[in-house]
Amino acid sequence: MVEDTVDTFFENYQPESFFDEMFTAPGEVRSHYKDLLSRFQGMSHEEFCRKRALADTSFLTQGITFTVYNDDQGTERIFPFDLIPRIIPADEWAHLERGLEQRIRALNLFLHDIYHEQRILKEKVIPAEYVLSAAHFRKEFMGFNVPRDIYIHICGTDLIRDKDGNYLVLEDNGRCPSGVSYVLENRVAMKRVFPRLFASHAVRPVDDYAQNLLNLLRYIAPDSRRDPTVVLLTPGIYNSAYYEHSYLARSMGIEIVEGRDLVVQNDEVFMKTTKGLKPVDVIYRRIDDDFLDPQVFRPDSCLGVPGIVQAYRRGKVSLANSIGTGVADDKVMYYFVPRMIRFYLGEEPILPNVQTYLSSEEKDRSYILDHLDQLVVKAANESGGYGMLIGTQASQAEIEKFRELIQANPRNYIAQPVISLSRSPSYVDNAAEGGNLQGRHIDLRPYILYGEKITILPGGLTRVAMKKGSLVVNSSQGGGSKDTWVLEE
């Protein structure tokens, strides 16, 4: 039946006034989506729904789920997956790659600098108090040399596109960025569900991520260890990202350990095995600094390993990411990244920041306070969509609450104009009006590995705000994801 094909949904599809990833105008498809469109045109609605159910079941039975919080039934849900992929042409990706590489180089030079000479502070490129007052600045590590001089080994940088389609950097995650397992599993699911679609597109593969990650971890092993033992340190199965920890450990063929599996003796780290203690050389830790070592950071932490920081200081064990990288995640520091790029690399930033106002600067603050109803306000050290005000959607009471927060602690807040993120056609259940395919706002989190060389996973995680009109893509706030295709030249 003609009226039953997906094509008819695309016929009704409205890009509206946003930057749409697939269409320039109603019915006008972008060239790199042409093949995709024609493939979907041959498919019935029924077949599409069947494929969708197939993908969902496969996620559920494989246990690719996250725990639903505040639910004592222990309910687990799958991360909503949208079957319409996001496609990035080769030249566009090359541009992103150059920009991301430039950025991670600058961030690493910055981290080295602030834990050593502090040139950037002495030359007043960044006001010193911003760095020294940062919540995640670890002054205990002043003068410490990290293995191979790399601080952020694994980075997830969030990108968005504005109404003209320009890519902008929204934030850098230089501590324990999560989500990469969804990139890999989404691809597996798509190949299972749409085998023929891949044959017609030259999509760059993502399967070597785990191998690259393992190479990186081996590369940073303490000197002279030829065949280092690498482990992944997880907070445990109740952590929302546990599936990912387990997935990555399995893909690399390394042990996944909890803090209680490790013990430090004479500044050496060991894991407890059925055959006694076995030395550990490199730890990919998915535990924040604060919980890593109760002797150094939070004394009440029982997730960490007493003495591990001392072992790290003595160069007996390597950690990825290094301790103290959180300062680069600080949203106030984000403001200064373009200056870092100019200062350390003598280059102009390839990927611009979103226009940002610092409420600790008097001029910016008065602008922020006068325009709260038009801005997004963010706390400097929160993530996951928490501690945030979207002024255009907020009530007067919420705005007043943030006004007080900002005035009480200006260092802790920044503000940005509301960016109407680009949209991508996404399948919508029970669509009373507008059809089953509607535009939904998306972002992109590429994953950057910094080892012997810098490798960037082609594509990354495209997150989708599944609610109509919503700009919040975080999984904790009802976001979903899409497979992301980077095309070969």
207 counts as binding other proteins under rule CB under 8 A: no
303 counts as binding other proteins under rule CB under 8 A: yes
236 counts as binding other proteins under rule CB under 8 A: yes
Determine the size of the site formed for other proteins (CB under 8 A). 61
Cβ closest to other proteins, residue 156 vs residue 459 = 156
Compute CA distances 267 → 270, 294, 316, whole Å: 10, 15, 7
Cβ closest to other proteins, residue 22 vs residue 249 = 249
Which residues lie across from 454 on neighbouring strands?
A: 450
Cβ closest to other proteins, residue 10 vs residue 291 = 291
Cβ closest to other proteins, residue 286 vs residue 423 = 286
Indicate the SS3 state at residue 386. coil
Q: Which of 453, 460, 448, 450 is nearest to 486 (CA)?
A: 460
Compute CA distances 120 → 125, 129, 153, 393, whole Å: 5, 12, 22, 38
Is 245 within 8 Å of 283 (Cβ atoms)? no
Structure tokens at 283: 């730890």
Q: Looking at the chain, how many residues does it have?
A: 489
* Of 67, 212, 215, 420, the one binding other proteins by CB under 8 A: 67
291 counts as binding other proteins under rule CB under 8 A: yes
60 counts as binding other proteins under rule CB under 8 A: yes
Structure tokens at 160: 């968005």
255 counts as binding other proteins under rule CB under 8 A: yes
250 counts as binding other proteins under rule CB under 8 A: yes
Span from 70-78, 115-123, 214-222, 421-429 in contact with other proteins (CB under 8 A):
70-78
Helix axes 331-340 and 90-114, enclosed angle (nearest 10): 100
- Draw the binding track, 356-395, toward other proteins (x: CB under 8 A; -: no contact): ---------------------------xx-x---------
Residue 285's CB: how many other CB atoms inside 10 A?
A: 25
Cβ closest to other proteins, residue 59 vs residue 344 = 59
Give 302-348 as a DSSP string: SSS-TTHHHHHHTTSSEEESPTTTHHHH-HHHHHHHHHHIIIII---
Compute CA distances 294 → 141, 279, 308, whole Å: 16, 21, 9
Site for other proteins in 98-137 (CB under 8 A): none
CA 112 to chain centre: 22
Span from 94-102, 133-141, 269-277, 430-438 in contact with other proteins (CB under 8 A):
269-277
Q: How far apart are CA 281 and CA 262, in angstroms?
A: 12
Cβ closest to other proteins, residue 251 vs residue 393 = 251
Residues that bind other proteins (CB under 8 A): 60-63, 66-67, 69-74, 156, 158, 171, 173-179, 235-242, 246-247, 249-250, 255-261, 271-275, 286-288, 291, 301-303, 329, 383-384, 386, 445, 474-476
